[in-house]
Each structure stands twice: as C-alpha cells, then as structure tokens.
Amino acid sequence: MNQQLLLAFDSLPTPFAPNGLGISERRLAVADRILVYRLQRVRRRTIGFQVNENGLMVRAPRSIALREIESAIVENQRWIFSKQVQWRAWCERLRQSAICFADGGRVRYLGQPMTLRLGATASHADSGTTEIHLAVPVSASEADVRQVLQAWLHEQARRIIGERVERFADRTPARFAGWCLSSARTQWGSCSHNGRVRLNWRLVHFALPVIDYVIAHELAHLRELNHSVRFWNEVARLLPGFEAARDQIKRVEIAAISF
C-alpha cells in the first residue's frame, strides 16, 4: 500500500553530508500537531512522499533546500495525513484477518469462517461442520500448518474454479483458450489477447457468487478489453445481478490475505 506523490521544484543548491543511507529523522510542526518524518537525499529531480510502516518517508534531491522540502510537506499535509489514516486502517484490517496456523485457527473458505483441526489422516473439509481437517500432527509448527493448508486450498481452488469456469465458457462467443491459477498480489483475475484467463487461487476464500463474478468479468474481457458500457453489458449477460458480488470483492485487498 505504498503511496507516492511526486512534486517538481526549481533546484536550489545546498550542501549535504550523507550519513549511512542518508536517512535522518526530523520533526515538523504542521497545523496543530508535530509530524515526524524520515528524510533521505537521493539522485532524483522531484520530491517523493511515501507512507508505509515507518511513517512518512520523504525522498528529495540533494540540491533542494530543507525549507523547500518542509514547505512541500505543509502544502500537502492533507494528503499525507489522509494516507497515514488509511495505512493504520489497512494494518488493523491485516491484523484482524491474520490466520493462526494452529489447531483451532480460523480461515475463510467459500465465504464461511472455518476452524482448523489438525491430526487428520487426509486433509478435507468436514461437510457436517465448519471445520477443515489437515493431515499434520497437532504439534506441527505454524510453517508446516501453513504449507499444508495452502496446498489444500490450492487444490480446492483448482477444482472449484475449474467447475465454475466450465459453466461460463459455453456462454461466451469469444475465443476462450483455457485458464490457469494465479498467485498475483494485485489482481483477482486477468486475461490475455490470445484468449487465456488467469484466476487468483485466493478466490477460494469467497462464496461462489463472488467467484462467478470474477470469472464472468474476465470472460467479458475476451470480447471487450476495457471497462466500457459494452463490457459491463457483457458481464450482465454472463451473470445477471452481478453487482452485489462485485461490490463485495471491491472492498477486499488481496494484500490483506495472510497467504
């Protein structure tokens, strides 16, 4: 979730003595608060702002005076404070969605919260309960539990998404050359000009209507490589009433999923 704002300024010569990576921590009074930021002098022509786990990082050319840098910070304080709020909210969502890879841990599967149970002879989801049984000993490390769970979810994603794709493939007159699973961290799905579709295995965390929406979305791109009115009409033709599923997945960040 790194955000960056670039600003262009006239060069103002000023000496700078690098120290290590040239990063220094500074404080600046902005409105009614003290803003702590980290400043790094680098070879570039613009001032860059980045909000991440370390707070505000400012990267600026060696030739720009400190007063100009801090003037830019004050000028863009609304953007900076807004991004800091967004970052904290994102970190909190990440913390709440973190999976405990141990017996009794919780994970979402096909839209339902499921409890992990270790010690099974074969990994499976218990159809009579909301439990996923994994073929690892109860004493297994978190790394081992994570590996087995991820492998099982991959297997289920390939099966379930494959079944859903088959339902839609015959509905589109566009050239469909097949599909494969993706592990992308920025996209739920994608399609290429040669008719191949990639679908993120993490879709297995969602209920079937959401999975269907992403499939219909990518298949619609086989006819319309844009998000025009004609594209959304094609999505609606493939999946009437898709809007609720679209709105649901739009609120989820892939990076917030623990895998």
Tens of pLDDT, residue by residue over 78-106, are 999 998 888 887 777 666 667 889 999 99
Strands 112-118 and 131-134 turn out to be parallel
Distance of alpha carbon 186 from alpha carbon 172, whole angstroms: 26
Residue range 45-59: average pLDDT? 89
- This prediction has a pTM of 0.68
Q: Cβ contacts of residue 223 below 8 Å, gap of 6+?
A: 172, 173, 174, 230, 231, 234
- pLDDT tens for 56-68 read 999 999 999 999 9
Strand partners, 60: 41
Residue type, 72: A
The domains located in the chain, with CATH, are 3-97 (no CATH), 106-256 (3.30.2010.10)
Q: What is the mean pLDDT of the chain?
A: 86
What pLDDT shows up at residue 5? 40
What token pair was written down for 121? 């002879």
Task: Provide the sign of the torsion angle of the four alpha carbons 250, 156, 183, 106, taken in this order.
Answer: positive
